Chain A
Amino acid sequence: MSDTVIKVENLSKAYQIGQIGTGTVSRDIERFVRTKVLGKEDPFLKIGETNDRSKKGTSNIVWSLRDINFGINQGDAVGIIGKNGAGKSTLLKLLSRVTSPTTGEISVKGRIASLLEVGTGFHPELTGRENIYLNGAILGMRKKEITRKLDEIIDFSGVERYIDTPVKRYSSGMYVRLAFAVAAHLESEILIVDEVLAVGDAEFQKKCLGKMGDISKGEGRTILFVSHNMAAIQNFCTKGIFLKNGEIDSTGGIAKVVDRYLQSEKLLYSTSYKNLKTTAKPIRLKSFDLINDLSTGAPMNFEVCIDSQVARTTEFAIGFRSIDSSAVMQLYSGHVGEFFDLKEGLNVIQGSLGSLPLSSGNYVLNFWLGSGGIEYDFHSAAMTVLVHEGAIRENGPISTRNGYPVILDTKWIQK
């Protein structure tokens, strides 16, 4: 017996884009006559092309998903990634039966609960408690089931004090907390989640991720998760599906799929940056070059080229951010008391770091030029660099993607 719980075969979904209005009646009749009366192929579906948002198409039918095939096993946590408009949400909509496919089929074992948006069906006039029941019922829970879990839900949401207040008086954070709490306590075998984690404060986001991790790892339930937050996806998904223009680009282990996604989205790393902006600033960064490849624990050497029209003192900073743009590390000349006296024309500054304390992966670099609180030039997300796997000591290879970006050498003494 296989433990495949979701099987998707030749799944496609076509949408009509542009205006729906004049002409639809006649076209509807034409379609009906052709397909039902004459038994011919649907003319509506013949035309159509891949869904590339940026290109102008020749027809007003697009395939939001086209011939998708995959299977998901019991207990998998699957991350679905792709650009905006790649078909992620359409896929989730089809899986959660909000709309039905144009062709193909999906077979499912067990109950599916989908969280395309938290708080669906919340009524502002009802109290928190009443909304728990309403929302739970909408998501497919029985009344008894909700009553049994009520305390747990209220506890998880952390809004106990307001539970008998109408939700229209809630702050948006409280609202989301309550809504997620209901959803997280669904007893379904398969859970579909779409970017709900974009809301709530950091503490609650952590709680949500933790709960989702529990659901997939601890309880052996299957989760499908759509997000643009690669860190969150890598954190608790085991497998990935990468959609591109409505077709599956790659599937498999999450690390492999995320890499493939980042590369195809031109998040390819580079080793140098040239400032092509033509804004006339008196002091501007001209280029930044890495002299050697980066790897964990290895030295980092770089060269900065500054174009100045005035003679002035400046400081320079490099900011490292992770792919999901959380700040990781800063190299700032001011911190070590270095100031550069620029002369008119080109100035070259070299910098080096003895041992790069970052774990392997992609990082996005920001550059800042300025002095005494005045900014001369700033380049946000100027370039992406790749840190190769390495070691901070000979005998200690660093495993990749353990979730912690900074790796430092430490003295350990056993007493």
Chain B
Amino acid sequence: MDLKPKEEHWDLVIKGHSSLFDLKFADVWRYRDLLGMFVKRDFISFYKQTILGPLWFFIQPIFTTLVFTFIFGNLAGIGTDGLPQPLFYLCGITAWNYFSECLTKTSTVFRDNASIFGKVYFPRLIMPLSIVVSNLVRFGVQLLLLAVMMAYYAIVKPGSFQISSALLLFPLLVLLMAALGLGVGLIITAMTTKYRDLTFLVSFGVQLLMYGTTVIYPLSEAKDKFSEYAWIIEMNPMTGIIEAFRYAFLGQGEFTMASIGYSAVVTVVMLLAGVVIFNKTERNFVDTI
């Protein structure tokens, strides 16, 4: 049991403090199988012992669309850029759901997994990443619903919408939504390990944020009615993404390279900040949670 000189090679050195930007991506890559396993677990445990199974993925957006069509479309009479109302809402809801699910689920990742994180080491980042990927499965299923609805309107009311070439940007849009949700979620989860207050903020904050995003109204409508405040809505990085999303699928929406570029920059900043803060917290959160 003697201590030898320092020039030996060690596979791993555990220290009290490490560089802020030591993000351990190599570790995450080594554990990529685990990510797949978590996704599978989430999917299976979601529909086990339910009668309708994966059908539940459809039910929530269908009913939300119905309610939105009735309240915002008919009762409040908010315009939809000339698009069929159900299509307009469903398109927004599908995209928004993906973002908000990514955000709310990652924002509690430390708390939800405290017991497992406290017992075994694996790169913690795997857990939020798996959430984003699991939600992608769900998002994919809900896109099917959107496709069915689009096919229906294409037959019943031909020309009521048109798919634009911006659809090529679709992968980028999904990536942006995932990364933005993940980034903000990571920041929040890192802070909630010590200050629980933020959890309360998230649950209703996300709901309120939806009204600050162009989910139930088009940006053009907002600019018409509140021209002096519309910049607030435009500052929201999700607005650019949702508008682009709607433009890609339905051919209506204010899609500009500037707005999507702005969203992309905010997303990258948020994601970077999120990962750095997350990694910093991850090292010691077991002691404070």
Residues of A within 8 A of B (CB): 1-2, 4, 7, 9, 15-16, 20, 24-25, 28, 69-73, 93-112, 114, 116-117, 120-121, 123, 125-126, 130, 133-134, 137-143, 166, 239, 251-252
Contact = CB atoms under 8 A, between A and B. Distances in A.
Q: Nearest 9 pairs between A and B by C-beta? A: A97-B121, A137-B34, A107-B10, A106-B14, A100-B283, A2-B4, A125-B45, A120-B119, A108-B12
A106 B283 CA distance: 15
Given A100-B283, A101-B16, A104-B16, A123 B120 contact: no
Contacts of B37: 133-134, 137-138, 143
Interface in B1-47: 1-4, 8-16, 31, 33-34, 36-38, 40-41, 44-45
Contacts of A109: 9-11
Contacts of B45: 123, 125-126
Contacts of B119: 98, 116-117, 120
A97 to B, nearest CB: 4
B194 interface: yes
Given A104-B16, A105-B13, A109-B11, A138 B120 contact: yes
A100 B122 CA distance: 13
Nearest to A109: B11
Nearest to A96: B121
28 contacts: A2-B4, A20-B194, A20-B288, A28-B194, A71-B4, A96-B120, A98-B119, A99-B283, A100-B16, A101-B16, A105-B14, A105-B15, A106-B14, A108-B11, A108-B12, A108-B13, A109-B9, A120-B116, A125-B44, A125-B48, A126-B44, A130-B41, A134-B38, A137-B37, A140-B122, A142-B33, A143-B36, A239-B1
Contacts of A108: 10-14
B8 A251 contact: no
Contacts of B2: 2, 4, 71
B228 interface: no
Contacts of B117: 98
Given A2-B2, A108-B13, 5 more contacts: A9-B3, A116-B119, A120-B120, A123-B41, A166-B48
A103 B33 contact: no
B77 interface: no
Contacts of A4: 2-4, 8
Contacts of A99: 283-284, 286-287
B258 to A, nearest CB: 37
Nearest to B47: A125
A261 B149 CA distance: 73
Residue of B10, B13, B44 most packed against chain A (CB within 10 A): B10
Interface in B170-228: 194-195
Interface string B242-260: 0000000000000000000
B118 A98 contact: yes
Given A98-B286, A100-B284, A123-B45, A107 B12 contact: yes
A251 B1 contact: yes
A203 B249 CA distance: 63
Interface of B: 1-4, 8-16, 31, 33-34, 36-38, 40-41, 44-45, 48-49, 115-122, 194-195, 283-284, 286-288
Contacts of A69: 3
Nearest to A14: B287
| A contacts with B: majority SS | mixed
A4 B118 CA distance: 27
B16 A140 contact: no
A252 B34 CA distance: 39
Nearest to A166: B48
Nearest to B196: A21
Contacts of A143: 33, 36-37
Given A123-B41, A138-B116, A140-B122, A110 B13 contact: no
Contacts of A114: 120-121
A95 B195 CA distance: 28
B8 A102 contact: no
Nearest to B8: A2
Nearest to A99: B286
B110 to A, nearest CB: 13
Nearest to B4: A2
A366 B213 CA distance: 75
B4 to A, nearest CB: 4
A21 to B, nearest CB: 9
Nearest to A239: B1
A239 B1 CA distance: 10
Given A70-B1, A123-B45, A110 B11 contact: yes
B121 A125 contact: no
B31 A137 contact: yes
B4 A116 contact: no
Contacts of A138: 34, 37, 116, 120, 122
Contacts of A1: 8
A143 B36 CA distance: 10
A143 B45 CA distance: 20
A196 B33 CA distance: 26
Given A4-B4, A140-B31, A97 B14 contact: yes
Contact of B1 (A25, A72, A126): A72
A95 B287 CA distance: 15
Contact of B16 (A103, A112, A123): A103
A96 to B, nearest CB: 5
A121 B4 contact: no
Contacts of A7: 3-4, 10
Contact of A139 (B1, B10, B120, B288): B120
**Best-surrounded residue of B4, B14, B40, B44 (most CB of chain A within 10 A):** B14
